[in-house]
């Protein structure tokens, strides 16, 4: 019944509470529901999905990985990294080796290392957390004023955000830095 209603949350709840293994066609339905999932428009709450996701890792691991990716992308926009670290802890045994999990671990390891702001900013950018990426690159620019890399990243992020004036200003600053370094 929940499959015909496309109710992903109920399907995952049944899988968890009743050790239900979906048929191949039901697995296809779950995979399609996850592929179409948009946390901006769905009433599904990513904060509660970590527990519901567990059986999915055993039955449809690719769909579970996709749901994990979407959940983290949604959560990172609303919560600090400590919340996400706590959120993912019940899933650790299922997530070892998954690219998103490994990148999240990198953020956790680098978050307080002032020598790694460039790498941290790039990771936040990959997670589409522009504000945190801007913060990292801005600090990197302060600590290393002659390095054009953080300036180039700031230009790119502002362009991605549709802020062309800011992007152009950082682009020009980057060119000036490169001229200073080479000339």
In this prediction, residue 1 carries a pLDDT of 65
Tokens of 141: 């620019």
Summarize the confidence of residues 123-127 as an average pLDDT: 95
Total-model pTM: 0.81
In this prediction, residue 14 carries a pLDDT of 87
In this prediction, residue 183 carries a pLDDT of 64
In this prediction, residue 118 carries a pLDDT of 97
> Would you put residue 128 in left (φ > 0), alpha (ψ -120 to 50) or beta?
left
> Would you put residue 44 in left (φ > 0), alpha (ψ -120 to 50) or beta?
beta
In this prediction, residue 129 carries a pLDDT of 92
CATH class name, domain 113-183: mainly alpha
Task: Return the SS3 of 79.
Answer: coil
Summarize the confidence of residues 140-164 as an average pLDDT: 96
Lowest mean pLDDT, pick from 40-49, 64-73, 140-149: 40-49
State the sign of the Cα–Cα–Cα–Cα dihedral 29, 34, 40, 43: positive
Summarize the confidence of residues 174-179 as an average pLDDT: 87
Look at residues 15, 22, 82, 84 and name the one whose alpha carbon lies nearest to residue 53: 15
Is the confidence at residue 124, as pLDDT, over 90? yes
Give tens-digit pLDDT for 62-95: 999 999 999 998 888 888 889 999 999 999 999 9
Q: What is the mean pLDDT of the chain?
A: 90
């Amino acid at each position: 019944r929940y499959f015909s209603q496309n109710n992903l949350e109920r399907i995952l709840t049944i899988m968890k509470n009743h050790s239900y293994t979906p048929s191949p066609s039901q697995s296809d339905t779950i995979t399609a529901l996850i592929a179409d999932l948009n946390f901006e428009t769905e009433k599904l709450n990513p904060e509660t999905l970590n527990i519901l996701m567990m059986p999915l890792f055993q039955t449809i691991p690719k769909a579970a990985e996709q749901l994990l990716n979407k959940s983290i992308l949604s959560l990172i926009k609303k919560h600090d990294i400590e919340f996400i670290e706590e959120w993912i802890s019940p899933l650790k045994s299922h997530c070892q080796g998954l690219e998103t999990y490994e990148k999240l671990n990198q953020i956790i390891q680098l978050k307080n290392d002032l020598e790694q702001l460039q790498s941290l900013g790039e990771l936040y950018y990959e997670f589409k957390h522009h504000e945190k990426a801007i913060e990292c690159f801005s600090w990197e620019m302060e600590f290393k004023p002659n390095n054009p890399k953080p300036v180039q990243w700031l230009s790119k992020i502002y362009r991605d955000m549709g802020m062309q004036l800011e992007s152009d200003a950082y682009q020009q600053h980057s060119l000036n830095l490169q001229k200073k370094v080479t000339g």
